[in-house]
A = this chain, B = another copy of it.
Amino acid sequence: MEAGTASGITLDELGLAARNHALPLEALRHPLTPVGLHYLLIHFDIPVVAAASWRLAIGGRVERPLELTLEQLQARPHRSLAVTLECAGNGRALLEPRPASQPWLSEAVGTAEWTGTPLAPLLQEAGLADDAAEVVFTGLDRGVQHGVMHDYERSLPLAEALREEVLLAWAVNGEPLPPQHGYPLRLVVPGWYGMAHVKWLRAITVVAEPFHGWQQEVAYRIRQTEEEAGEPVTRIQPRALMVPPGLPEFYTRTRLLEPGSCLLEGRAWSGYGPVERVEVSVDRGPWRPAELDEPLSDFAWRGWRFEWRAEPGEHELRCRATDAAGNVQPDEARWNLDGYCNNTPQRVCVLVDERPERLLES
């Protein structure tokens, strides 16, 4: 598995890890992540929704509140867009001390083709009031976090909500949303971390004041202490991941490989613009450039590959991405209280030998 030093994970964290699964790294081979391999983070319970009685309410600071059936939404213009989604907590379990929440390592990501109707024309039809400032999205999921009972709700600034690529999606990879991805309708906000893509959407409410819900004002903020307001988590920081080369050892996920030429490959993404550079470092040596594929879309990962000459012995492989805005993955983690946005480079341990299993400690 990924090198690292954290340990002593609690049974509560294990319970979350059993529910919320990551992308098995070898599934990076698929340009579009098959359903069931895409990462999932579900705060409360997955609602069971009867589409026939489900309605989407659009209200608040609008001139003409709307209530729409799924059929009415699906009769509207629609588009499909490949979007990379990543959990804002990805990398959390590699921080020290480890923040107490879903203990992600490095692979809480996935890329799917989402199909839905653009949000902006709907808001325009409803007629935005002059004082409209934010748009609040409410899911059908409900529970308690840090002692506060609430519906899962997040807002977007109006300008973000009106971006043409923001969708109300009812399909993923050409199929109706499965329950765990928000059936019957979810928000897709390309470029933003997963918390913004509200699932099981039931209401869209335009508001004139900043939204103060728990998931907005307390969660998903970069802060050092409980007292601090912090900065909101928004767009996805750059990250590159590689398909671990060779064959795995079951328990440690250490990789086993014969000596010789080895094609390393993976995917890289950022919410701040296209990834412009992916680099690989072997055994803490210099960062050397990988070749890049075209991205699947403006909001999806791009493939990369790097020819590695695997010499016998134990090696550590790392990869990192730099985006068009100049953001690069940092060598050192930027610790924060709730463990968001830890995009330090992935580390993969590889044993190279004609019979690599003999290098394993017994």
Contact = CB atoms under 8 A, between A and B. Distances in A.
Interface string A1-25: 1101111111111111111111010
A100 interface: yes
Q: How many copies does the complex hold?
A: 2
Given A180-B24, A180-B37, A93 B14 contact: yes
B253 A15 contact: yes
A354 B6 CA distance: 40
Given A36-B35, A360-B147, A248 B45 contact: yes
Contacts of A24: 19, 42, 45-46, 180
Contacts of A46: 24, 26-27, 37
A357 interface: yes
Interface stretch (A102-110, A123-131, A204-212, A285-293): A102-110
A79 interface: no
Contact of A21 (B1, B18, B35): B18
Interface stretch (A52-60, A138-146, A155-163, A313-321): A138-146
A36 B251 contact: no
B21 A101 contact: no
6 contacts: A2-B15, A7-B10, A14-B103, A27-B179, A36-B38, A142-B247
The 8 closest A-B CB pairs, nearest first, are A21-B21, A1-B15, A36-B36, A9-B9, A17-B17, A26-B45, A145-B250, A18-B22
Contacts of A181: 36
A148 interface: yes
B17 A251 contact: no
A12 B252 contact: yes
A18 B107 contact: yes
Interface of A: 1-2, 4-22, 24, 26-27, 29-30, 34-38, 40, 42-46, 48, 93, 100-101, 103-105, 107, 142-145, 147-149, 178-181, 244, 247-253, 256, 355, 357, 360, 362
Q: Tell me whether chain A's interface is mostly helix, strand or loop, or mixed.
A: loop
A17 B181 CA distance: 20
A1 B102 CA distance: 13
Contact of A105 (B7, B10, B15, B34): B15
A44 B180 contact: no
Contacts of A179: 27, 30, 34, 37
A42 B44 CA distance: 26
A263 to B, nearest CB: 14
A18 B247 contact: no
A355 B100 CA distance: 25
A42 B252 CA distance: 14
A86 to B, nearest CB: 14
Contacts of A357: 144, 147-149
B35 A35 contact: yes
A34 B46 CA distance: 12
